[in-house]
Amino acid sequence: MQRLLPPGVICLLVACIALLSGCISGTYTKPNNLSFFKKIELDYPLVYQSEENTANKFNFLRNGQVIAVSNPSHITFVNLGNGRVIKEIRSNALIGDIDGKAVNKDGSRYLWVKDRMVNVMDTSNWRLISQFKGGWSDFAGLSPDGKTAFVSRTDLWDVDSQEKIVSLTDSVGWYMAYEFSEDSRYFIGAPGRGDLFILYDIESRQRINILTPLRYPDKARFGPENSFYLDSYDKYGPTTRLAWFSIEPHKKLAEIRPYKPISCWTRLDNNTLIMGLMDGDVLLLNKELEVMRHWSIGSEATLCTAGKKGLAWLGTKSGVFRLDTENNTLANPVKSVEVMRKLVVSPNGKYIGFVGYDSGIFVKVHLIQ
């Protein structure tokens, strides 16, 4: 005689199955067979290197034709075509953190902070176009169109009018990680702790506080069709997951939790993403965070940088790897044992630069060919 379970037990089992399904949703395990890539030989010649310990930050200007290298006492502007110094800014006052996001998309506007004053320069003629008091912190960055500045880890400013748009100060505190959307409409900031991050619509001047299911959000990238990607890490641990969200309506669309912690990730120009894992493997994801390819390059990628036409550059202890995701080729055009802190491709795709730590600190730029 067949015995049926009581209705209460059935309901409990259904609830447990649903809960377990939610827990393992997005979990990715390493396959037995990895994707194949063709190794090719490339060599990127060195075209610029700063003097030892004289610079530890840089930005590409004028679409990549000029590089600005800096340390807390001076900024030097160098023409990469002929190696000549164009201009220098020296000061006894502290020159603030102008690393990475101190330029707009094409490098026609450049920002630096000196004695808590935010300065924005037109790089076509090296003239100052805006200057305003930035507050208590020497930290600032520009939107892709160069019209909005993020200052003091909390405030958004209109560069042209020199007026503060909004102060995002609240109980969360500093926004340690931030990003502007490609059209410069949205700003996203994550404090690196808790589960609250902020999304601000610069066009409509509307602030959107969003609670996410991710604890300790760390890095954000905007995605296609008014969406964004947000990663998170375990407290005092490495990054463990990446999720995809829509802005309106706000909801989580997808999530991936790889079998190993995430060492780096970025979005490419063809709506795919590249992700490095701590075991030296690299994943190619579609926009829904589904794994399309899984390679092993034999060295942990700690820096992921996007190029054009599906190209990605990976910074490792073995140097810089070039991964062509569309043609499935891998090259190691810059061989180095230095520890790299930053890896950037110029807007024109002609140069790749990085900050290297070996016996000293250097800024190096190589010609992509």
Residue 127 reports pLDDT greater than 60:
yes
User: What is the rounded distance in angstroms from the CA atom of residue 356 to the CA atom of residue 62?
Assistant: 23
Q: Find where tokens 């190993």 sit.
A: 260
Taken in order of first residue, the domains within the chain and their CATH numbers are: 29-56+273-369 (2.130.10.10)
Q: What is the mean pLDDT of the chain?
A: 85
- Confidence (pLDDT) at 348: 93
C-alpha pair distances (Å), 334 with each of 67, 315, 341: 19, 10, 15
What is the reported pTM?
0.87
Range with the lowest mean pLDDT among 23-32, 43-52, 256-265, 339-348?
23-32
Tens digits of per-residue pLDDT, 67-123?
Answer: 999 887 889 999 999 999 999 998 877 676 555 688 999 999 999 888 788 999 999
Tens digits of per-residue pLDDT, 167-226?
Answer: 887 545 566 678 899 999 999 887 655 556 788 999 999 987 666 666 666 788 999 988
- Confidence (pLDDT) at 15: 37
56, 73 contact by CB (below 8 A): no
Residue 238 reports pLDDT greater than 90:
no
Beta bridge partners of 233: 239
Tens digits of per-residue pLDDT, 325-368?
Answer: 999 999 999 997 678 889 999 999 999 999 988 767 889 999 99
- Confidence (pLDDT) at 366: 96
Task: Extract the tokens encoding 86.
Answer: 């164009």
Range with the lowest mean pLDDT among 55-59, 122-126, 228-232, 238-242?
55-59
